[in-house]
């Protein structure tokens, strides 16, 4: 491990000179070592993987499979064969819904979702409901703005829940869900659990064996890696039982005129040319992040969230969504300002060089719960500092003057 030196960390992100970036929940910026790794791959190793009988293909294959091993170790999966490369969290969840879900969830069964979910962990299950006539059961929020575990138990006790699909961390309120407790409850009721770790993965260590989750999805670009690559983790026995999601080159063992057989794990879920360069970049991002202690990362980011929470609460007419205690928030804070649409506010603040997000953040059911169509979101990464946070409130006050 290396010392957590924020000034040195910031120097590794050349794009930070463009402004105050507070939109890491949408996509994290990339350290130069990741950018250089992509360039190096295309200049010295670029070839297709697994099927070439030449030196470049062997190098590319070794780099690609090395990335798979890095992901396996990073989330502590039992085997690299439980790591499937996808285009991102969205594809990973759709893969489960359209393979395992289609074959295992029928008209008498239910899928449990929570009000904290991103659309990517809602719409695939609604599609499954429309196709298989299963039920969707919703878990609301409790008084602490977290998942109502009593209501979850009420759904599970019915005995027809096949899957609980739950985020590890809200991309709106920053709430971290009690995953171990949820997974234990679900398993006791005979249900599986899929974890959407898109937000959690860059802010908190994940151990899939300790959690005992059945599936877990993540995106590389939230983890300081490239866009276009993600991961589906699944327990081996589940992945082996599932049909392929896509068919074509690379995922087959044999093709005849009237039938085909699939290759083994994880290849049967990686049809076509996979995201080779992106996976290599993800490996470098994981290696880069892993040099720091998680305790240092979490303490640093928590201090920024608490400072932002305090500064935002001083602004008249501003309402923070979610918990009233910043210690229960991780990664991001979303808020609304009386009399200003979030799009207008974020546009004006952005013109002042403070880059945040506006919209429903692909979480419309949660925004409906709060009675608003959209919000502004401030989200932090490892590279942010107190100066970044200090610029937010003055920029918002300036925007308020325009609308007063």
Omega into 266 within 30° of 0, i.e. cis?
yes
Half-sphere exposure of 147 (CA within 13 A, CB side): 28
Q: Are residues 184 and 130 in the same domain?
A: yes
Q: Does any domain span residue 263?
A: yes
Q: Are residues 234 and 301 in the same domain?
A: no
Q: Are residues 250 and 297 in the same domain?
A: no
Q: Could you report the per-residue pLDDT of 238-275, keeping only the tens digit for each?
A: 999 999 999 999 999 999 999 999 999 999 999 999 99
Q: Are residues 256 and 383 in the same domain?
A: no
Q: Are residues 186 and 243 in the same domain?
A: yes
Q: What is the CATH number of the domain that holds 87?
A: 3.40.640.10
Would you say 138 and 107 are in contact if contact means Cβ atoms under 8 Å apart?
Answer: no
Q: Are residues 261 and 301 in the same domain?
A: no
How many folded domains does the chain comprise? 2
Q: Are residues 267 and 348 in the same domain?
A: no
Would you say 280 and 41 are in contact if contact means Cβ atoms under 8 Å apart?
Answer: yes
Q: Could you report the per-residue pLDDT of 162-202, keeping only the tens digit for each?
A: 999 999 999 999 999 999 999 999 999 999 999 999 999 99
- Residues designated catalytic: 362
Give the DSSP H or E segment for 136.
strand 135-139
Q: Are residues 351 and 389 in the same domain?
A: yes
Q: Could you report the per-residue pLDDT of 288-329, keeping only the tens digit for each?
A: 999 999 999 999 999 999 999 999 999 999 999 999 999 999
Q: Are residues 223 and 283 in the same domain?
A: yes
Q: Does any domain span residue 54?
A: yes
Domain that holds residue 218: 35-289
Q: Are residues 113 and 142 in the same domain?
A: yes
Distance of alpha carbon 277 from alpha carbon 255, whole angstroms: 28
Q: Are residues 214 and 202 in the same domain?
A: yes
| pLDDT for the residue numbered 53 | 87
Q: Could you report the per-residue pLDDT of 362-404, keeping only the tens digit for each?
A: 999 999 999 999 999 999 999 999 999 999 999 999 999 998 8
Would you say 127 and 102 are in contact if contact means Cβ atoms under 8 Å apart?
Answer: no
Q: Are residues 397 and 250 in the same domain?
A: no
Give the DSSP H or E segment for 153.
helix 149-156
Of the residues 230, 255, 289, the one at which a domain ends: 289
Q: Does any domain span residue 1?
A: no
pTM above 0.75, yes or no: yes
């Amino acid at each position: 491990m290396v010392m957590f030196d924020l000034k040195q960390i910031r120097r590794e992100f050349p794009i930070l000179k463009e402004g105050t970036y507070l939109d890491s929940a949408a996509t994290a910026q990339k350290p130069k070592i990741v950018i250089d790794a992509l360039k190096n791959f295309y200049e010295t190793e670029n070839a297709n993987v697994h099927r070439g009988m030449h030196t470049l293909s062997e190098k590319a294959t070794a780099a690609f499979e090395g990335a798979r091993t890095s992901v396996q170790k990073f989330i502590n999966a039992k085997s690299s064969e439980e790591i499937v490369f996808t285009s991102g969290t969205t594809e990973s969840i759709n893969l489960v819904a359209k393979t395992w879900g289609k074959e295992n969830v029928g008209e008498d069964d239910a899928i449990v979702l929570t009000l904290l979910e991103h659309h990517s962990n809602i719409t695939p299950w609604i599609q499954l409901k429309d196709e298989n006539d299963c039920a969707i059961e919703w878990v609301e929020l409790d008084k602490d703005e977290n998942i109502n575990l009593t209501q979850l138990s009420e759904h599970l006790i019915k005995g027809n829940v096949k899957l609980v699909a739950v985020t590890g961390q809200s991309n709106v309120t920053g709430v971290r869900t009690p995953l171990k407790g949820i997974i234990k409850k679900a398993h006791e009721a005979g249900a599986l659990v899929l974890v959407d770790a898109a937000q959690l993965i860059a802010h908190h260590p994940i151990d899939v064996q300790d959690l005992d989750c059945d599936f877990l999805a993540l995106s590389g670009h939230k983890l300081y890696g490239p866009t276009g690559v993600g991961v589906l983790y699944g327990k081996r026995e589940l992945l082996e039982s599932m049909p392929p999601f896509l068919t074509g080159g690379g995922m087959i063992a044999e093709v005849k005129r009237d039938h085909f057989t699939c290759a083994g794990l994880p290849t049967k879920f990686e049809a076509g040319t996979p995201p080779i360069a992106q996976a290599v970049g993800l490996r470098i991002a994981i290696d880069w992040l892993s040099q720091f202690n998680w305790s240092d990362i979490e303490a640093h980011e928590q201090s920024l969230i608490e400072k932002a929470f305090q500064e935002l609460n001083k602004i008249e007419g501003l309402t923070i969504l979610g918990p009233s205690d910043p210690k229960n928030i991780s990664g991001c804070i979303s808020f609304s300002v009386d009399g200003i649409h979030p799009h207008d506010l974020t546009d004006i603040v952005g013109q002042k060089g403070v880059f945040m997000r506006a919209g429903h953040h692909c979480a419309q059911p949660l925004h409906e719960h709060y009675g608003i169509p959209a919000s502004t979101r401030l989200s932090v990464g490892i590279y942010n500092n107190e100066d970044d946070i200090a610029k937010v409130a003055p920029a918002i006050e300036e925007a308020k003057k325009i609308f007063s």
